[in-house]
């Protein structure tokens, strides 16, 4: 119901069926064209644009007001909806069959000249993003941003509805909390009343949702704002929104089922039909075949192990790595001969930048075999690698930790450069059986791959691997991926306090520290904990994908820049000295 005490409709709602009706509208002057005898105003609100025509027969005061209107001014008007003559219809506008002839028109919100334009001509570039973020109130008036945030709203409501129907309870958890480790730094908040003590903003509601399971709520969800002080990358925000859920008396199957139900509903809300169940792939297989834990499965191209087929190639780095027992892994790219010399050189350069030892290549075109290591291959040898006429083989050698990221990147680049056809529009998948720990890149010590509350795989726990070979230990940890994007993570949790203590110890936490930091969880687990597990969907990313937006910042009303600054309000900013004194804080630079 768009009607209020001041208007009868939204501008963008008017259609041919309203012809003859008197309406009251309010909106922003999108564009104004003065054709001498007649002034056309495109009036805009969240529903869209309607044309307002002020001709010679309009009352004098209306004509005067219309003559002086500048862009982005807010006006209210009353008038009649009139059918446009056939040749004046605008099929590109939903309201294009009608216009409004006002009998009253009042400026209620005069506007200074906008710092960035709201109305844009076709093909006209957007203002620089810094300006868009600084003058966000104007940027948000653009139809694309309005559409993105309206879609976001609809997706949120759909997620809520879907989870409520699955008997999940929406329960809020605190924002002023104790640190929950998710692998990033905390944003801390000083306490004024407890000098020298701090709250942390939640990196996720993880511990709280587990305690809600201990408390017997059975199925919880929350549209949770999370905060992580990370070195920012282009696709991260320091505060972001997760659809966070947790359930009790469940196994992996149940959680995957719940999450699939939500994702399918969200895609449906955006008009996309997708099928479930999603296929599953183990983490090991994903790393082996695609070099990444978030493979884009729309494309068949996969990494192969060619160690057995490929011998020394007369290239020093290659041969010495082989001698040291490294594996040769490669991509047989169908139609890859279409890649130019420059393409391949750029791929090799990318490989080097990623710290790999480089990329060797062979091109097969008819009788001709060329490429950096072409002379070492016969047509038959290439055939055995699956490299046919018109194809290219791209080879990397070295430890997996180097070749995987190189071949992942090269695979994505090759797909892009060849304009490869996807085999499906939507490729959802579950990546399961992640390792429990990863080696810290500097110290080599175990750090958690997900978070320290993730249950080890029962077979590995029973087999004693936790102590004998922690890095070989798998976790009941699963990620949802979609077209090469990670949509979220989750796991089955540890409910045995003794196992939880062992994990803390393996991560290098002394018992007293574990007690001080996570005592409230450990006490909860001792109090009778049901088997439980959950998941968190990265909601901003989902909206970005469904809105086909270029960045997370295009689906968040007031986002931060990649340097974690809020340009609109100017945050962070120095605090006033009196406030700092009250907080018992001295700033050292
Ligand atoms: N707390 C986890 C995260 O933020 C999600 C989960 O394990 O449920 O990634």
Per-residue model confidence as pLDDT tens for the chain (589 residues)? 899 999 999 999 999 999 999 999 999 999 999 998 999 999 999 999 999 999 999 999 999 999 999 999 999 999 999 999 999 999 999 999 999 999 999 999 999 999 999 998 888 999 999 999 999 999 999 999 999 999 999 999 999 999 999 999 999 999 999 877 788 899 999 999 999 999 999 999 999 999 999 999 999 999 999 999 987 776 789 999 999 999 999 999 999 999 999 999 999 999 999 999 999 999 999 999 999 999 999 999 999 999 999 888 877 878 888 888 899 999 999 999 999 999 999 999 988 888 766 899 999 999 899 999 999 999 999 999 999 999 999 999 999 999 999 999 999 999 999 999 999 999 999 999 999 999 888 888 889 988 999 999 999 998 888 889 999 999 999 999 999 999 999 999 999 999 999 999 999 999 999 999 999 999 999 999 999 999 999 999 999 999 999 999 999 999 999 999 999 999 999 999 999 999 999 999 8
Q: Which atom of ligand 1 is nearest to the CA of 533?
A: 8
Q: How far is the CA of 137 from the centre of ligand 1 (A)?
A: 33
Mutate to test the pocket of ligand 1, among 212, 222, 489, 537 (most ligand atoms within 8 A of CB): 489
DSSP annotation of 398 reads E
Which three-class secondary structure state does DSSP give residue 421? coil
Q: How far is the CA of 478 from the centre of ligand 1 (A)?
A: 10
Cα 250 to Cα 218: distance, rounded to the nearest angstrom = 10
Sign of the CA dihedral running 349, 352, 354, 356: positive
For residue 8, give every residue at least 6 positions away whose Cβ sits within 8 Å of its Cβ, in sequence order, or none. 2, 22, 23, 24, 25
CB-based pocket (< 6 A), ligand 1 = 182, 204, 206, 489-491, 534-536
Mutate to test the pocket of ligand 1, among 246, 259, 450 (most ligand atoms within 8 A of CB): 450
* pTM, two decimal places: 0.95
For residue 193, give every residue at least 6 positions away whose Cβ sits within 8 Å of its Cβ, in sequence order, or none. none
Which DSSP string do the residues of 1-19 spell out, in sequence order? ----SS-SS-GGG--GGGT
> What's the token pair of residue 235?
């696709």
For residue 463, give every residue at least 6 positions away whose Cβ sits within 8 Å of its Cβ, in sequence order, or none. none
- Residue (of 317, 344, 339, 338) closest to 328 by Cα position: 317
For residue 548, give every residue at least 6 positions away whose Cβ sits within 8 Å of its Cβ, in sequence order, or none. none
**CB of 481 within 8 A of CB of 429?**
yes
Neighbours of 574 (CB within 10 A): 7
Which amino acid residue places its CA nearest to atom 4 of ligand 1? 204
Instruction: Give the CA distances from residue 57 to residues 38, 54, 60, 469, in Å, rounded to whole numbers and listed in that order.
Output: 10, 8, 8, 87
Q: Are strands 48-54 and 392-398 parallel, antiparallel or unpaired?
A: unpaired
SS (H, E, C) 111-158: CCCCCCCCCCCCCCCCCCHHHHHHCHHHHCCCHHHHHHHHHHHHHHHH
Q: How far is the CA of 490 from the centre of ligand 1 (A)?
A: 5
CA max distance for the chain: 92
Instruction: Give the CA distances from residue 199 to residues 172, 179, 180, 194, 567, in Å, rounded to whole numbers and listed in that order.
Output: 17, 8, 11, 10, 25
- Residue (of 174, 241, 222) closest to 202 by Cα position: 174
Q: Which atom of ligand 1 is nearest to the CA of 477?
A: 7
Instruction: Assign 3-state DSSP to the chain and report helix, strand, coil percentages, each to 5.
Output: 35, 25, 40
Give counts: helices (H), strands (E), the chain: 17, 22
Cα 555 to Cα 423: distance, rounded to the nearest angstrom = 28
Q: Measured in Å, how far apart are the chain's first and last C-alpha atoms?
A: 55
Cα 177 to Cα 8: distance, rounded to the nearest angstrom = 46
> What's the token pair of residue 82?
């009139």
Q: How far is the CA of 245 from the centre of ligand 1 (A)?
A: 9
Q: Which atom of ligand 1 is nearest to the CA of 205?
A: 1
Cα 567 to Cα 139: distance, rounded to the nearest angstrom = 13
Mutate to test the pocket of ligand 1, among 536, 537, 540, 541 (most ligand atoms within 8 A of CB): 536
Q: How far is the CA of 536 from the centre of ligand 1 (A)?
A: 5
Mutate to test the pocket of ligand 1, among 173, 534, 540 (most ligand atoms within 8 A of CB): 534
């Amino acid at each position: 119901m768009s009607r209020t005490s001041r208007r009868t409709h939204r501008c963008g709602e008017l259609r041919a069926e309203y012809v003859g009706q008197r309406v009251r509208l309010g909106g922003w002057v999108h564009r104004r064209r003065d054709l001498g005898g007649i002034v056309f105003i495109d009036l805009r609100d969240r529903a869209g644009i309607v044309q307002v025509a002020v001709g010679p027969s309009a009352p004098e005061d209306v004509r005067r007001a219309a003559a002086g209107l500048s862009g982005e001014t807010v006006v209210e008007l009353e008038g009649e909806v009139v059918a446009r003559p056939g040749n004046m219809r605008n099929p590109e506008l939903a309201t294009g069959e009608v216009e409004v002839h006002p009998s009253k028109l009042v400026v209620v919100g005069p506007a200074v000249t906008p710092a960035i334009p709201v109305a844009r001509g076709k093909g006209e570039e957007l203002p620089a993003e810094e300006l868009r973020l600084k003058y966000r109130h104007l940027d948000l008036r653009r139809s694309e941003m309005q559409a993105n945030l309206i879609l976001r709203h609809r997706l949120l409501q759909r997620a809520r509805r879907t989870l409520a129907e699955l008997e999940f309870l929406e329960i809020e958890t605190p924002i002023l909390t104790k640190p929950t480790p998710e692998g990033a730094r905390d944003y801390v908040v000083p306490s004024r009343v407890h000098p020298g003590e701090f709250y942390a903003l939640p990196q996720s509601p993880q511990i709280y949702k587990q305690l809600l399971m201990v408390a017997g709520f059975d199925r919880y969800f929350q549209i949770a704002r999370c905060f992580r002080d990370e070195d920012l990358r282009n696709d991260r925000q320091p505060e972001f929104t997760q659809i966070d859920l947790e359930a009790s008396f469940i196994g992996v199957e149940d959680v995957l089922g719940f999450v699939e139900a939500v994702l399918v509903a969200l895609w449906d809300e955006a008009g996309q039909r997708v099928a479930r169940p999603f296929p599953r792939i183990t983490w090991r297989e994903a790393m082996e075949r695609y070099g990444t834990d978030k493979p884009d499965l729309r494309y068949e191209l996969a990494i192969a192990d060619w160690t057995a087929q490929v011998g020394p190639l007369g290239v020093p780095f290659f041969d010495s790595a082989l001698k040291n027992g490294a594996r040769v892994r490669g991509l047989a790219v169908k139609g890859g001969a279409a890649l130019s010399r420059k393409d391949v050189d750029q791929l090799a350069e990318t490989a080097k930048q990623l710290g790999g030892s480089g990329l060797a290549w062979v091109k097969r075109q008819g009788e001709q075999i060329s490429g950096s290591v072409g002379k070492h291959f016969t047509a038959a040898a290439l055939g055995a690698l699956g490299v046919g006429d018109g194809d290219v083989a791209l080879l990397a050698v070295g430890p997996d930790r180097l070749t995987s990221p190189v071949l992942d990147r090269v695979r994505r680049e090759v797909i892009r450069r060849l304009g490869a056809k996807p085999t499906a529009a939507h490729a959802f998948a579950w990546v399961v059986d992640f390792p429990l720990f990863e080696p810290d890149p500097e110290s080599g010590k175990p750090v958690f791959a997900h978070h320290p509350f993730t249950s080890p795989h029962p077979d590995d726990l029973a087999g004693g691997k936790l102590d004998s070979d922690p890095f070989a230990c798998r976790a009941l940890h699963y990620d949802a991926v979609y077209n090469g994007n990670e949509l979220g993570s989750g796991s089955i949790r540890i409910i045995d306090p003794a196992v939880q203590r062992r994990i803390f110890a393996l991560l290098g936490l002394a018992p007293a520290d574990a007690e001080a930091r996570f005592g409230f969880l450990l006490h909860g687990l001792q109090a009778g904990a049901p088997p439980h597990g959950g998941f968190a969907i990265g909601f901003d990313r989902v909206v970005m994908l469904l809105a086909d937006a270029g960045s997370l910042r295009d689906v968040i009303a007031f986002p931060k820049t990649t340097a974690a600054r809020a340009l609109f309000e100017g945050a962070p900013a120095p605090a006033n000295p009196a406030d700092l004194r009250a907080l018992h804080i001295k700033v050292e630079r």
